[in-house]
Amino acid sequence: MTKRGLRKSLIATQTALATLDATLDFRLSKLERRLNDLVAAPLPAMAYKVAQKVMAGAENSGDAFITPDEGALRLGMSPCTVRRWLRDGILVGHRVGRRWELSERAVSEVVRARAGWSNR
């Protein structure tokens, strides 16, 4: 093989390795975020029950509703996690068209409940 052929082969190999490295970094960071979501913010069944009761009362009381983005800021997690918890039934909310809405009171109760669990 000539020098030129070796050089092209080396460049192709370096490019492939850089692409593989970037892909692995992306997948690793995605797994780390997912793990942090699962470990850092588990929501016990008690919080679910509290949120359910608050949400049931909010429907009739004219309580203010917030978006998952606002709820995520208050809960200290990503909006994707809040939407996933809404889909899975961990957080209680309702859909308006394609959007989710959470009761402001329900989110406040969950924040208070989570603060109490971390103090134990």
Pair (11, 61) in one structural domain? no
User: What pLDDT does residue 69 have?
Assistant: 92
For 69-81, what is each residue's pLDDT tens digit?
998 998 888 999 8
Pair (85, 105) in one structural domain? yes
Whether the predicted pLDDT of 118 surpasses 60: no
Pair (56, 112) in one structural domain? yes
Domain limits at 18? 1-40
- Average pLDDT of 15-42? 72
Choose between 68 and 18: higher pLDDT: 68
Whether the predicted pLDDT of 103 surpasses 60: yes
**DSSP labels for 62-116?**
T--EE-HHHHHHHHTS-HHHHHHHHHHTSS-EEEETTEEEEEHHHHHHHHHHHHH
Pair (103, 61) in one structural domain? yes
Report the CATH number that the domain containing residue 93 is assigned in CATH: 1.10.1660
Pair (33, 90) in one structural domain? no
